[in-house]
Amino acid sequence: HELAVKSLPENEQNAVNTFREAVRAGGGEIYVQDQSAYLNRIRENLTQENGGKPLSPEQEAQAKLYADTHAFFDGQIPDANGTTRRVVFLNSDSTGLNHDAGHLFQSLLSPENQAALRESALSSYSPEQLKAFKDEYARRIGEPDYFNRLGDEANNKAADELIAENFGQLFQNKTF
């Protein structure tokens, strides 16, 4: 992180460090990684989801596609002291910071507050608006059937992305 963040322009360093300090006390962390380390983090994440088995050629292609994104929220990882932290990884710049910081802040809420926030987000959009958002999101990540594969969790995931998008808008970030 230290070398990658130092390579950023000063305003981006300041933004990353401000968000890092804001989330640390609540159990969050934000790391900037160079492109190679970012791709390796994605591979590790997919390997873990794959039960520790080596990635198939399709999964490797998915990792490389996902490595073109600006940031990702990695759920929970242990820090150097063994404490579990919620983490965002940035891909060599701060482009995805505001969006993924939204995911991070949301994840630090209690489960009850997370559910209330999701419900608020979902009730603020018409079914047509929600469908249009899902279609656009799936197109941007290159997975047209993304929400279909999620089944019953599709609306919760859409709400999470709406929350992150709106959080990003607070800081004038256009999209992830």
Q: Cβ neighbours of residue 10 under 8 Å, at least 6 residues apart?
A: none
Sorting pLDDT into bands at 50, 70 and 90, what band is 173?
low
pLDDT at 90: 92
How do residues 8-42 score in pLDDT, each as one tens digit?
Answer: 999 999 999 999 999 999 999 999 999 999 999 99
* Burial 147-157, CB ≥16 within 10 A → b, else e: beeeeeeebbe
Sorting pLDDT into bands at 50, 70 and 90, what band is 109?
very high
Residue type, 103: H
Average confidence (pLDDT) over 88-109: 91
- pLDDT above 70 as % of the chain: 97
CB of 73 within 8 A of CB of 88? Answer: yes
What is the signed CA dihedral for 35, 40, 44, 47, rounded to 10 degrees?
A: 110
How do residues 123-151 score in pLDDT, each as one tens digit?
Answer: 999 999 999 999 999 988 778 899 999 99
Closest by alpha carbon to 50, among 39, 34, 35, 62? 62
CA dist., res. 34 & res. 39, Å (int) = 9
Q: Cβ neighbours of residue 176 under 8 Å, at least 6 residues apart?
A: 69, 70, 71, 96, 99, 100, 140, 164, 165, 168
Residue type, 165: E
Closest by alpha carbon to 157, among 167, 148, 169? 148
Higher-scoring residue by pLDDT: 156, 172: 156
